[in-house]
Structure 1
Amino acid sequence: VATVVTIQARQKKLDLTIEIDQIESPVLGDAFRLKQVFYNLLGNAIKFTAAGTITFSTRILEQTATHIKTEFKISDTGKGIPKEEQEIIFNQFEQGGKNIHRQYGGAGLGLSIVKKIIEQQQGTIKVESEVGTGTTFIIIITFEKTEAPVVSPVQQIEPTTFAGHVWLVDDDPLILKLCSLILEKNNIAYTSLQSSLKMLEQKLNATDVVFLDIRMPGINGVDLCKQLRARVPELYIVALTAHLLPDERKFIVESGFNRILPKPFRENEFLDALHQIQSTTQQTEVNLSELEKMTHGDKALMNSIVEEFIEETHKNILQLEKRMLDKDAAGAREIIHQLAGRVGQFGARPLMKELQRIEQMLVAGTPLHTIRELPQVLQQVKQLQLELSKGIETSV
């Protein structure tokens, strides 16, 4: 977060001061959500400050054998917030004045989500501000100490063979630059735009991929997604957002996005969106090596298992198509769960992972009819059936 906002501050010729009271012991907390909060608050501080200094500081208030009470402060020397607006700034859909809304759009909504994230971690957030002097946001969270740090495994970045065109739409030039570096490194053709209006002027193909920032001035990402979807229904559209609560996830997916990529993101997370698109368009490969081992090379036994797979999968496909017509998400989830395990057993691992991803979307409450990649995945299951039936015919 500090690296990103340092560049942003430098672009506006602002001084950025970071004062850290080092926490010696490992603590339990949601590091990802806190990064989102700091990214949001520091980003807003830079946006609303024309000249002067942005300060980010942490301070240990209290410490016991089991807990550490910590204070985080984000201060700026911007225009400040009037007293009456400080009382509503954390309310959802309230904007900090019409001028702020016109210039930057959506800041109030962001702060309401920040407050929810902090409260979910049993913390508090308040604002102190004086018009013409600046604003300070104060966050206090008590963390539980732990014996050892939890280290996430390093994820390997898979090479991508994505051959389509990527569109990047974000009003933040730094985000565009970071995405551009990833795409250039992987030899992927792209176009980056800071204006949602300019995006509407572009000629798009069904194989294109669009990364859209949710909150932009003018036409926001949700409205832009709907307009692009109306023009090219097959587009794969990824939402870029620094806020990601369960209720917002559902709203974003229902608005027509195929996927959500939370900010800040890593290179492998960005490329994973393209890998997912590939998994719905690549030919399904069959690998029966595991099944051959289990049947000890008995061709007749293996063929009988394959025939049963084809028969049961055919039934599932008919059932799933009916559930899709009825918009029966619960029924569809059960069938998709069965299919995922079955196709995985027959060596179609990428297809299994895609079915599992769709199952998780349904578990999270995503409406069945909004999962636009499901028909493509279902077509891959049918293709797998066909490939297996050819294998039986060849061996007979």
Structure 2
Amino acid sequence: MQKRRLSDQTLTFLPHYLLSLLATLLMGCSTYAPERQKSDYPVAQQGLLDLRTVRFDQQLVPLNGAWKWYWKSLLSPGDRSPAFEYSTFPEPWSTQTWNGHPLPAYGYATYSLTILLPRQAPPLALKLPDFFTAYRLFVNDQELTRSGTPGTSPESTTPFWSTQIKFVPQTSDTLRLLLQVANFHHSKGGPYQPIFLGSAEELRVAIDREYALDYFLTGCLFMGGLFFLGLFLFGRHETSILYFSLFCLLYSYRIVGSDHYALHALFETARWSLLVHLEYLSLFVSVAVFVLYTGSLYPADVNRHVIRLLTGICLVFTVATLLLPPIYFTQLIDPFLGLMIIYIGYAFHVYWLAARRKRPGAKYSLMSTGVLLAVFIVIILKYFQIAIPENIVLFLGYIGFFFLQSLVLSYRFAFTLRQAKEQAEEGLRVKNEFLSTISHEIRTPLNAVIGLNHLLRQDNPRPDQLQHLDVMLYSANNLLHIVNDILDLNQIEAGKIALESVPMDPARILQNVVSSFQAVAREKSLALNLTIDPRFTPNVVGDPNRLAQVVSNLVQNAIKFTEQGGVVVSLTVDEQQTQTTTLTFAIEDTGIGIAPEKQQLIFNRFTQVDSSLSRTYGGTGMGLTISHKILQLQQVELRLQSQPGRGSRFYFTQTFPRVAAPAPEPLKVNKSVSGNKPLHGITILLVEDNAMNVLLAKNILSKLGATVDVANNGQEAVNMLDSTKHRLVLMDLQMPVMDGYEATRIIRKRNETLPIIAVTASLAQEIGERANDAGLDEVLVKPYSPGNLAQVILKHLKLAE
């Protein structure tokens, strides 16, 4: 049970909140029970209402009480008065009797009232509500207004509903009202709301305020519905959003199409039959949509059979409204209002369960349903004339309900976005782990392939064997290049790439790149040339590795798509100042070229200009993307000039800080070590669990003159290490029993200071921090060449001496 309780005190607070809200709404209602009428306002007696003592500048007066009543008569001024009775006004006909006989809701009648006014009164006006279903009002023998046309038959009666404010002509201190009412089109007949008499200015302001609130609320609901509909169509295709948008759009009509009938004031010539159909349909359909909204909002907390039943009932009411005339379908409103309590109660039950189960936004749903329940109780009280609420009360209730429901969807939307973000981050983490694992597993066998290839080359192979070795080495390096590109692209997109800032010589970097591609260019009979601006001085600061990577990718791309002619790599000085140097790097070819409309596509990952080029020229299409992104990280733009069939020119302009000291000589990683024994007399502890890599390392180290002891895991290395014998440790990092990190930490805790070199298939940037923390001196990434291994060992043995 403890798990089902909300962590906060929301559920404990809600009953008190809802009771307080209901009390607040009910306090905003003005009761018009008969006993209060006698004490608060003058009441008509036998067709006469004495208001001579009323201060109209301080209050509005309902014209309630006993009016003269002429059933089955539509009297006009001057007509002879037939038999009459005194009738309580306002009261529907179905609750009254004539000559002791109950009356139907259909028929026609005339009401008469004489009002005595004070001698000094401000300009007065009458507030006339809608009557069932048409009326005409005469004041002092002159027609003042009408709503529809009352008649003695359905054919002669034109129904219409509207709320009107009409100024009263004050020609005397007496008002004689003659009110004709007829109904042949609605299930209820006769007056059911009071007529108010009061200050014309106050009544005008009041009706304007009522209409303004109705129009404002309608506009809010309509625009909110359009917003959520757009969110559904163009954003998240979640059915709860669609249902709520439809609910807002449908219910917005009820605000102006019922109660005060603000919409009818704008369309006075509209057909009453159409308007009353829309009024009832908007209620039945909107409730059905709200049921579907509740079901889609918390599907795990609803009973699908109950949702179908409640929706089906609304659809039955809807079909009846569409097929039947108003005199029949208007009888459905009373039972439907009773059903509304069940509907709201079930929604409250669903949201209560959702809140207990901590569904997203459920507490807002629960509060909004409480608001809706209070609003509908007030509406029912008003409908049955038990209490008349202030308009602002219902306005605030509606605003509160729709605001809280909007919070529900907003919260769910934010919750879904947060979940999507977490899933994306988890997916990125899994992708990084997968790529890291794949990289390690590919580099490990490649280390043996490339390393043994180099060893075989040192054994003076026959020309045909050398050709096979060249093909093997090219294929292995090509696979390694693809793996490196994927990892580089992943690092760039994850924002984990780090840029160095060290002294360098861009000219020497270009020379090394051009030299490394000369053999490939010769195979295709292409000229590969380098031009350096004579004004260039080498003392600049930048990232030499990334510059070499960008230029290498561009040169490789140029050679790949050039069949004849050549490739020119150039460095041009654009501006050289005391603190900075601006250089332009360009790679120009005479290849196939690129059409203007496709020149931006080539910078997309895994993309080439034409899919057929992938089959013709091969490649993943990542080189240009990586170069483009690396330069973007340095706020540099990679640009292209190209013409189909005439070649392309890739270039970029970059500004480098200058330094006084010359750039250091780059390391020559492919230095040959054959023909000498630089490690003669040196014993090295090799910690490696892969048999192929053990064979490779032992062969390389033996050719260098070293003696090699082998440990298959970190635990063996810790037990075997003898600092009086071993001068250096080559430590693999991922091993069974004990990994290289733990073994190195244990060795360092014994105060051993000999060099420990990590030899791993993981990238240096992935393990850099862990390697430093463990006490490793350097990281050598697999696959390595004999020259790489020799250079690292000689470097650290020299430092250790």
Q: TM-score interval w.r.t. the shorter chain?
A: 0.3 to 0.5
Q: Bigger relative contact order, structure 1 or 2, given CA contacts below 8 A and separation 6+?
A: 1
Larger Rg: 2
TM-score (norm: length of structure 1): 0.46
TM-score (norm: length of structure 2): 0.24
